[in-house]
Amino acid sequence: MPYAHITGWGMAVPETVRTNDDLSKMVDTNDEWIRSRTGIAERRIANDEESSASLGADAALRALEVANLRAADLDLIIVASSSPEHIFPATASLVQDRIGAINAGAFDISAACTGFIFAVNMAAQSIRSGASKNVLVVGAETLSRFVDWTDRNTCILFGDGAGAFVLQENEEPGGVLAEVMHSDGSGGDLLSIPAGGSKLPTTEATIQAGQHLIQMDGKGVFRFATRVMARATKEALEKADLEIEDLDLVIPHQANTRIIEAAARGLKLPMDKFMVNLDKYGNTSTASIPIATVEAFESGRITPGDKIVMVGFGGGLTWGALVAEWTGPLPTERKVRHGWLLFLARIRSVLLRVLRIVEGMLWGRYGRS
Ligand code: ACO
């Protein structure tokens, strides 16, 4: 059975920084309260040109560069997002078009902040089954567009950004070793965007009531998160036949430092075994784990052979974890440069759109009997 190795990683965050002090001018809050209750100091906010697909594509291209892989070599793209561009088309299809992944199937996963863990798990299983060789997994968010900027309970928490992994088939043991996934729909109302779906389509009334924006029972989510983080980590380690002592690093979903500290206590691990960077980005939902992974690697906290747990929780309710042995890029000769390939991808996309317009015109003239 082939192994699914993490061979590429990349991140993209908007340039605009919104600090706690900026927020204190918008709602009744202050830097001290936000830092002490959450650990967050600032977050990134997308500009008008940026979207979940554009940030996702930028992170994807960086991950492909690290893996030294062309977009055309991908068989599958999975995007996890809590702020997808549309109900459909899938954000994954938009990323596929932007990066020119002409041979890849693409679909989205909706599992709120646990989405990236679930997506990596699906990618690993697809590789192990032999169905895919090269899979791109993206977590991409523009949650700032779903935040009620007048609600101090939620607007302090979230930020925008994207992260991506490339997973590749290899016969060498390593890569994603075990995974666990859980859900409890009875807690769906703890964290939701109630309107805009088929149950409550968007109307003037839903907009007036702010039901198209994030609603959260913060305490309920907090209690749930502190229960499941340590439990899921232990479960995944057991499945991988590893002990807690074998762990080099835990990369948790970056929601709240106090939640991560509770997980550390539950696992009897010191905080220096946890990667924490939520002070800079806030909660970027599906993007938080890959962004934290990129920064952990860049700061020298991950080296090949390390045993890592990635663990997340979120709306749904959902929670899950995976254990991976860090590989790094696979040895390969070719050095991929995306510049002209991206240019070709843009031309191809425009040509396909023009072709569809011409086809529509011809169909109008000759197609009807
Ligand atoms: N600034 C100042 N005061 C505030 C703020 C704020 N931004 N927000 C709330 N308060 C006030 C409250 O009104 C309350 O005042 P009161 O005592 O007079 O009523 C007081 O501070 C305490 O509020 P709590 O809600 O008890 O604060 P708590 O310590 O629970 O922290 C928080 C709130 C940070 C939201 C916490 O509950 C939390 O982190 N929950 C988890 C949220 C989370 O992680 N969500 C994302 C999940 S992942 C996903 O799927 C997207």
3-325 placed in CATH 3.40.47.10: yes
* Lowest mean pLDDT segment, chosen from 62-76, 96-110, 132-146, 349-363: 349-363
pLDDT for the residue numbered 258: 96
Q: Is the CB of 315 under 6 A from ligand 1?
A: yes
pLDDT number for residue 369: 54
253 catalytically annotated: yes
* The pLDDT of residue 367: 63
Q: What Cα–Cα distance (Å) separates residue 141 from each residue in 35, 50, 68, 172, 358?
A: 22, 10, 25, 33, 35
Please name the helix (run of DSSP H) or strand (run of DSSP E) that holds residue 267, with its range, or none: helix 257-267
Outline where DSSP puts E strands in the chain: 3-12, 17-19, 42-44, 76-80, 105-109, 134-141, 161-170, 175-183, 191-192, 215-216, 249-252, 307-314, 318-325
Q: Within the chain, how many helices (H) and strands (E) appear?
A: 11, 13
Q: What is the mean pLDDT of residues 80-86?
A: 97
pTM for the complete prediction? 0.94
Q: Note the pLDDT of residue 368.
A: 59
Q: Is there a catalytic annotation at residue 153?
A: no
Say if residues 16 and 58 touch (Cβ distance below 8 Å): no
**pLDDT tens digits, one per residue of 103-141:** 999 999 999 999 999 999 999 999 999 999 999 999 999
Q: At what angle do helices 91-99 and 338-362 cross, to 10 degrees?
A: 120
Q: Which carries the bigger pLDDT value, residue 190 or residue 337?
A: 190
Measured between alpha carbons, how far is 44 from 313 in angstroms, rounded to an integer? 21
Question: Ligand 1: which residue has its CA nearest to atom 8?
Answer: 153
* Average pLDDT of the residues in 319-333: 89
Task: Name the nearest CA neighbour of 285 among 84, 125, 122, 106.
Answer: 84
Residue 155 Cα: closest atom of ligand 1: 7
Residue to substitute in 141, 145, 222 for testing ligand 1 pocket (most ligand atoms within 8 angstroms of CB)? 222
In this prediction, residue 334 has a pLDDT band, given cuts at 50, 70 and 90, of confident
222 lines ligand 1 (CB under 6 A): yes
Summarised one tens digit per residue, pLDDT across range 175-218 is: 999 999 999 999 999 999 999 999 999 999 999 999 999 999 99
Residue listed under structure tokens 């561009």: 85
pLDDT for 206-237, tens place per residue?
999 999 999 999 999 999 999 999 999 999 99
In short, whether 283's Cβ falls inside 6 Å of ligand 1 is yes
- What percentage of the chain exceeds 70 in pLDDT? 99
Mean model confidence pLDDT for the chain: 95
Q: Is the CB of 155 under 6 A from ligand 1?
A: no
> How remote is the CA of residue 153 from the centroid of ligand 1, in Å?
5
Q: Which two tokens stand for residue 102?
A: 């002409």
* 283: annotated active-site residue: yes
Q: Does residue 105's CB lie within 6 angstroms of at least one atom of ligand 1?
A: no
The domain locations on the chain are 3-325
